[in-house]
Amino acid sequence: MSQIVSMTINGEERELALEPYRSLLDTLRNEGGLTGTKKGCDVGDCGACTIIMNGKPVNSCLVLAVEAAGAMIETIEGLQLAPDKPHPLQEAFMRYGSAQCGFCTPGIIMMAKALLDENPNPTEDEVRFGIAGNICRCTGYTKIIEAILATAADLQRAKSA
């Protein structure tokens, strides 16, 4: 039996008709039409489906959509500041070559955003710890960590300027 669940996704209030057993990940991808969030394992092991829910990063495959009723959801599609203006993390991931196959990229960028929201000036170890639940099989993480640290430094500079 479908039921209607309301949530705010990337600033837009949405009413979605879904089965009660549907994960938030499947809901975002199917009913929500937001396929940027990826399904790498569907059991909470890989982090490819990381989104921000009420300010906290979560594996959206482990959240039932009905649990997200009334929640504020941020996905990779909502990160751009304007259509032609990517978020600084997105800019840095492009500049540093942090995306290879790109399948883990949306999840890692969302995790990095949550990390920087909470800790704007992380050490390298804190960044490594922060994305420890996100599997990337292509990059060895080198350029991902470079990009997150560079973004933090840029944001700090912009704040103090």
Partner 1 sequence: MTIHDKTFESKFAVVGRSVKRSDTLEKVTGTACYAGDVALPGMLHGKTKRSTVAHAIIKRIDVSKALALKGVKAVLTHENVPRVLHYGSPHPRSASVTRDQYILDNRVRYWGEGVAAVAAISEEIAEEALDLIEVEYEPLPAVFTIEDAMRDGAPVIHDNGLPQNQVLPPVIVERGDVEKGFADADFVIEGEYELGRPTPAYMEPNICVAQWDGNGKLTFWSSTQTAFMVRGALAEVLGIPLNKVRVLVDHMGGGFGAKQDLFQHEFLCALLARETNRPVRMEFTRKETFLGGRTRHPGRIWLKQGFRKDGTITAREAKVLFNSGAYGSHGPGVTNVGTAALTSLYRCENVRLEGRCIYTNAPIAGAFRGYGVVQTYYALDLQMDEAAEKLGFDPAEFKLKNAVREGDIAPSNHPIVGHGLEDCIRRGMEETGWPAVRRHGRDTGVKRRGWGIGCEMHGSSAYPGIKEQGNAIVKMNEDGTVTLLTGTAGLGTGAHTALSQIVAEELGVPFETISVVQGDTDVVPWDIGAFASHTTYMGGRAAQIAAADVRRQVLAHAAPQLGATPEELTIRDGVIVVEGSNRSMTLAEAVAPQRGMPAIQLVGVGTYTPTKSYSFAAHFVEVEVDTETGEIRVLQVIPVHEIGKVIHPIAAQGQIEGGIQQGIGHTLSEDYVIDHQTGRSLNAGFVDYKMPLSMDMPPIRTIILETAPDPGGPYGAKGVGEDPIIAIGPAIANAVYDAIGVRFRRYPITPEHVLAALRTKKQEVA
Residues 107-126 contacting partner 1, CB under 8 A: 109
Please give the biggest Cα pair distance in the chain: 55
Q: Which is nearer to partner 1, 84 or 160 (CB)?
A: 84
Instruction: Output the CA angle 85-36-59, nearest 5 degrees.
Output: 115
Binder among 6, 80, 123, 156 for partner 1 (CB under 8 A): 80
Q: Can you tell me which of 9, 16, 38, 60 binds partner 1, judged by CB under 8 A? A: 38
Q: Which is nearer to partner 1, 27 or 75 (CB)?
A: 75
Q: How many CB atoms lie within 10 A of CB 13?
A: 8
Q: Is residue 103 within the footprint of partner 1 (CB under 8 A)?
A: yes
Q: Which long-range contacts (CB under 8 A, 24 or more apart) does 150-156 make?
A: 150/92, 150/95, 150/96, 151/88, 151/89, 151/91, 151/92, 151/112, 151/116, 152/116, 152/120, 152/121, 152/122, 154/88, 154/92, 155/88, 155/116, 155/120, 156/120, 156/121
- Segment contacting partner 1 by CB under 8 A, of 44-52, 66-74, 113-121, 153-161: 44-52
**Binding of partner 1 at residue 96 (CB under 8 A)?**
yes
Restricting to residues 123-152, name those near partner 1 by CB under 8 A: 127-129, 131-132, 134-146
Which CB, 7 or 47, lies closer to partner 1? 47
Q: Which backbone phi and psi does 61 adopt, to 5 degrees? A: -75, -20
State the nearest-atom distance from the C-beta of 16 to partner 1, in Å.
Answer: 15
**Min. distance of Cβ 53 from partner 1 in angstroms?**
16
Could you tell me the two tokens for 129? 């710890």
Positions in the binding site for partner 1 (CB under 8 A): 21, 29-30, 34-43, 45-46, 48, 75-77, 79-80, 86, 89-90, 93-97, 99-106, 109, 127-129, 131-132, 134-146
